[in-house]
């Protein structure tokens, strides 16, 4: 069943209402607002800061502690050579299109999606149907998309639009340009032809040190590289045992082309990333896979997308791995763990799917990748990536630096096998190729066994071979038998040396938190005349709610003060976040205000409390109330906020 844009209780969702609530109650605000603000930058207020802290705490328990991971904290500022080697300088980019008349710049894929979406909306309106389209997240000074005339499209055209949108992530710059021409997409405000799409690197450059005369570093766009560069030290810390995982939580930065969609597309954000190192000869099996093999996942594979469809399929992770829908057990295991975590947070399971990356969309390092996508008012949005990065990162950094980013293990029995080995005449190689000698040597070392076998025959027959050297001249280099020898030899191996493969779950924390707030938002009618006609509620699970308990005295009567102090002391000792609202507003209004903050429990102190030391506990979503002693109520709350039980039960 397709996800629908509704509140937690099935009401039509209005993003403006939620956004107004979040801003009014101080969840977030534009950064530098008194200076006019800056797009793509937001500050978190007390509620969202606390929610994020609770998220991080739960993430550590769910992943770092349960999976025995090694957490590290690496630097944000990164020297340029690191990202040149990793490929980010060349490939970490999105395509942008410029309107030559107005100077406006658009992210190309987003513009195509918006224009085709608007045309499909006009078609559905003409047919008397409705369709969800993206709303602007903030007032625009200029209209981004001109009003589209309400008219029916040919069925074939509408189908082509839908198929194009389903596989839009698979296009490159040239493909985007062809779509723009084919569908006659113009500058949204000027109506003129757009300049051809160009790649725009998303990393922020910076200067490291006072002597730099040009940018020589970057703010990291992910935490991963810092973990890879410390691999050898982490392996030693783990007593040379494989497999193992490192983890890191920290700020990352991406210079988004046109940051929109509020908290979903920002230039500074918090990430949580895991790098799980695995032996490639193990088949990437996972020791805990049997425990999760029957867990069901909602999957959208790449073949379905390439066929122009977004139809998902529900299957167990065991079936998905055995049928090679998901590449291997370790990837499948972490996809399940990601799903478990998101559901524990309070994400609506009907608005969660895992979508496989298509070939052109795949990151430059990835062998396979699945995104946990969450559905909300902006459509399906990637919030967690789970990629098989193969051995790419460790390999390129090892080649560049010579650092031994490998695992060495003693074999129980010596292994004997034959392989083609290469000998280079370095005395002649250096004078012939000069500064390119090292690059030639590296290219030779990279030759696969199959290619070495083929080249050995060529060398024997013709006395010379030609190899690919992408960074030298025309990309081809000729070597004669005076420079190189390729022979098959028998090898006896006592120590196996290999470069681990890496499975990487990567969490965009801000995106997950925003979708959580959409998924738990709902509105209920007023229960009394002194409350608003419609009351907004955030049903944030007690486990991560910013404030767990609101303490409400019936009035400011002095007899209540000792009980307030005692309750606060009890809850503080339990590390249960609490607050007191002793304002003059009615109890109903005070509870309503805190329902908007997601506070799951309320305690009322009244004159009955003074008589028998009992208090009333109110549950946010049901508004159910029970009365019991202070100690029993606090004990029940402690269990509830730790996730120990789900129902409101206390001794009477």
Q: How many CA atoms lie within 13 A of 365 on its CB side?
A: 25
Most trustworthy range by pLDDT among 164-168, 431-435, 589-593, 641-645: 589-593
Mean pLDDT is lowest, of 304-308, 380-384, 481-485, 640-644, for: 640-644
49 CB burial (10 A radius; 0-12, 13-18, 19+): middle
Domain ranges of the chain: 15-76+220-392+502-509, 77-92+205-219, 96-201, 411-496, 529-641
Round to whole Å and give the CA distance between 137 and 46: 22
For range 521-530, the mean pLDDT: 75
Which tens digit of pLDDT belongs to each residue from 122-143? 888 887 765 554 544 444 444 4
CA–CA separation, 63 and 83 (whole Å): 27
As assigned by CATH, the class of the 15-76+220-392+502-509 domain is alpha beta
pLDDT score of 153: 85
Cα 444 to Cα 451: distance, rounded to the nearest angstrom: 10
> pTM, whole model, 2 decimals?
0.85
pLDDT tens digits, residue range 205-260?
999 999 878 999 999 999 999 999 999 999 999 999 999 999 999 999 999 988 87
Q: 188 to each of 175, 386, 535, 634, how far by Cα in Å?
A: 20, 35, 39, 58
Task: Please report the pLDDT score of residue 141 as a whole number.
Answer: 41
Quick one: pLDDT band at residue 185, thresholds 50, 70, 90? Answer: very high
Decide if pLDDT at 650 tops 60: no
Contact (CB, 8 A) for 613 and 560: no
| pLDDT tens-digit readout, 4-19 | 788 999 899 999 999 9
pLDDT score for 137: 44
User: CA-to-CA distance for 35 and 152, rounded, in angstroms?
Assistant: 46
- pLDDT tens for each residue of 252-308: 999 998 887 889 999 999 999 999 999 999 999 999 999 999 999 999 999 999 888
Give the 3-state DSSP-derived string for 154-181, with helices as H, strands as E and coil as C: CHHHHHHHHHHHHCHHHCCHHHHHHHHH
DSSP assignments along 19-53, one per residue? HHHHHHTTSEEETTGGGT--TT-EEE-HHHHHHHH
Q: 517-534 b/e with 16+ CB inside 10 Å = b?
A: bbbbbbbeeeeeeebeee
The 3-state DSSP class for residue 576 equals coil
Helix (H, G, I), strand (E, B) or coil at 505: strand
Q: Could you tell me which of 147, 18, 103 has the C-alpha nearest to residue 520?
A: 18
Q: What is the four-CA torsion angle of 606, 611, 613, 619, rounded to 10 degrees?
A: -30
360 — pLDDT class (breaks 50, 70, 90): confident
Please tell me the predicted confidence (pLDDT) of residue 138. 44
Length of the chain: 652
Token pair of 387, please?
Answer: 């990629």
Of all residues in the chain, the percent with pLDDT exceeding 70 is: 93
Q: Which has the closest alpha carbon to 358: 302, 405, 402?
A: 302
How much is the average pLDDT of 589-605? 96
Q: Which of 60-64, 76-80, 144-148, 162-166 has the lowest mean pLDDT?
A: 144-148
pLDDT for 155-171, tens place per residue?
888 888 888 988 887 88
Residue 365's pLDDT band (boundaries 50, 70, 90)? low
Looking at CATH, the fold of the domain delimited by 411-496 is given as 3.30.720
Output b/e per residue, 158-196; b: 16+ Cβ within 10 A.
Answer: bebbebbbbbbbbbebebbbebbeeeebebbbbeeebee
Here the tokens at position 99 are 């309107």
DSSP, residue by residue, 376-407? ETTEEEEEEEEEEEETHHHHHHHHHH----SE
Fold of 529-641: Rossmann fold (3.40.50)
Q: Which residue has the higher pLDDT, 124 or 632?
A: 632
Name the average pLDDT for the chain: 91
Architecture of domain 96-201: 2-Layer Sandwich (3.30)
| Residues of the chain above pLDDT 90, percent | 72
**Cβ–Cβ under 8 Å, residues 86 and 201:** no
Q: Which stretch, 452-456, 523-527, 545-549, has highest mean pLDDT?
A: 545-549
Cβ-Cβ contacts under 8 Å for 147 (sequence gap 6 or more): none
Q: What angle do CA 282, 503, 244 make, to 5 degrees?
A: 65
The confidence score (pLDDT) of residue 123 equals 83
Which residues have CB under 8 Å from 392's CB, separation 6+? 364, 365, 502
555-594 pLDDT per residue, tens: 999 999 999 999 999 999 999 999 999 999 999 999 999 9
Backbone angles phi, psi at 17, to 5 degrees: -65, -45
Question: In this predicted structure, which of 182-196, 564-578, 596-610 has the lowest mean pLDDT?
Answer: 182-196
The pLDDT-based confidence of 606 (bands split at 50, 70, 90) is very high
pLDDT at 122: 86
Q: Residue 238, exposed/middle/buried by CB under 10 A (0-12, 13-18, 19+)?
A: middle
Nearest to 472 by CA among 516, 441, 505: 441
Q: What pLDDT is attached to residue 93?
A: 87
User: Cα 75 vs. chain centroid, distance in angstroms?
Assistant: 20
For the chain, state the CA radius of gyration. Answer: 29
pLDDT at position 529 is: 56
The Cα–Cα gap between 508 and 273 comes to 9
Average pLDDT (352-376) is 88
Contacts of 546 (CB under 8 A, 6+ apart): 46, 47, 48, 50, 51, 54, 540, 577, 597, 598, 599
Q: How many Cβ atoms from other residues are within 10 Å of residue 478's Cβ?
A: 9
The pLDDT of residue 645 is 55
Q: What angle do CA 549, 552, 558 make, to 5 degrees?
A: 135
């Amino acid at each position: 069943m397709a996800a629908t844009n509704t509140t937690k209780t099935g009401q039509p969702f209005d993003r403006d209402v939620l956004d107004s609530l979040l801003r009014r109650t101080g969840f977030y605000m534009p950064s530098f607002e008194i200076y006019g603000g800056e797009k793509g930058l937001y500050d978190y207020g007390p509620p969202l800061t606390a929610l994020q802290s609770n998220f991080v705490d739960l993430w550590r328990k769910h992943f770092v502690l349960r999976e025995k991971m090694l957490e590290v904290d690496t630097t944000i500022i990164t020297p340029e050579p690191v990202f040149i080697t990793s490929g980010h300088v060349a490939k970490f980019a999105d395509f942008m299109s410029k309107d030559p008349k107005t100077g406006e710049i658009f992210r190309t894929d987003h513009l195509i999606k918006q224009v085709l979406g608007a045309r499909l909306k006009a078609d559905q309106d003409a047919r008397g149907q409705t369709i969800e389209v993206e709303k602007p997240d903030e007032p625009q000074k200029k209209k981004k998309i001109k009003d589209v005339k309400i008219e029916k499209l040919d069925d074939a055209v509408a189908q082509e639009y839908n198929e194009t949108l389903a596989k839009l992530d698979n296009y490159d710059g040239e493909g985007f340009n062809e779509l723009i021409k084919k569908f006659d997409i113009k500058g949204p405000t000027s109506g003129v032809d757009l300049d051809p799409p160009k790649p725009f690197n998303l990393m922020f450059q910076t200067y490291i040190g006072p002597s730099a005369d040009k940018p020589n570093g970057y703010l990291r766009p992910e935490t991963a590289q810092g973990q890879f560069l410390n691999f050898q030290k982490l392996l030693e810390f783990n007593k040379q045992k494989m497999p193992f995982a490192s983890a890191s939580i920290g700020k990352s930065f991406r210079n988004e082309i046109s940051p929109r969609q509020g908290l979903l597309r920002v230039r500074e954000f918090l990430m949580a990333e895991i790098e799980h190192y695995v032996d490639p000869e193990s088949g990437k099996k996972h020791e805990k896979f049997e425990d999760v093999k029957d867990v069901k996942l909602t999957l959208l594979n790449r073949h379905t997308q390439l066929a122009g469809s977004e139809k998902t399929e529900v299957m167990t992770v065991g079936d998905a791995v055995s049928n090679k829908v998901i590449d291997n057990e370790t990837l499948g295991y972490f996809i399940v763990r990601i799903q478990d975590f998101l559901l524990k947070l309070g994400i609506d399971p009907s608005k969660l799917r895992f979508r496989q990356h298509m070939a052109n969309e795949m990151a430059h390092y990835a062998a396979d990748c699945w995104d946990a996508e969450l559905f909300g008012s902006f459509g399906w949005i990637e919030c967690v990536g789970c990629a098989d990065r193969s051995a790419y990162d460790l390999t390129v950094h090892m080649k560049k630096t010579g650092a031994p980013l490998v695992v060495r293990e003693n074999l129980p029995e010596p292994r004997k096998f034959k392989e083609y080995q290469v000998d280079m005449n370095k005395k002649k190689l250096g004078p012939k190729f000069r500064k390119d000698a090292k690059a030639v040597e590296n290219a030779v070392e990279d030759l696969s066994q199959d290619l070495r076998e083929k080249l050995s025959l060529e060398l024997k027959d013709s006395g010379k071979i030609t190899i690919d050297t992408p960074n030298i001249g025309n990309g081809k280099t000729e070597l004669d038998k005076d420079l190189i020898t390729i022979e098959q030899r028998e090898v006896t191996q006592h120590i196996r040396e290999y470069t681990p493969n890496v499975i990487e779950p990567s969490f965009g924390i801000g995106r997950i938190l925003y979708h959580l707030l959409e998924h738990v938002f709902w509105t209920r009618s007023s229960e009394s005349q002194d409350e608003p006609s419609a009351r907004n509620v955030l049903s944030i699970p007690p486990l991560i709610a910013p404030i767990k308990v609101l303490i409400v005295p019936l009035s400011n009567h002095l007899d209540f003060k000792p009980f307030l102090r005692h309750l606060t002391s009890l809850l503080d000792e339990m590390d249960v976040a609490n607050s007191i609202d002793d304002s003059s507003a009615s109890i109903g209004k005070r509870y309503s205000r805190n329902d908007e903050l997601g506070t799951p429990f309320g305690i009322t102190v009244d004159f009955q409390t003074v008589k028998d030391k009992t208090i009333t506990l109110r549950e946010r979503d049901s508004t159910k109330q029970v009365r019991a002693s202070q100690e029993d109520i606090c004990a029940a709350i402690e269990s509830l906020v730790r996730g120990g039980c789900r129902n409101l039960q206390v001794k009477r």
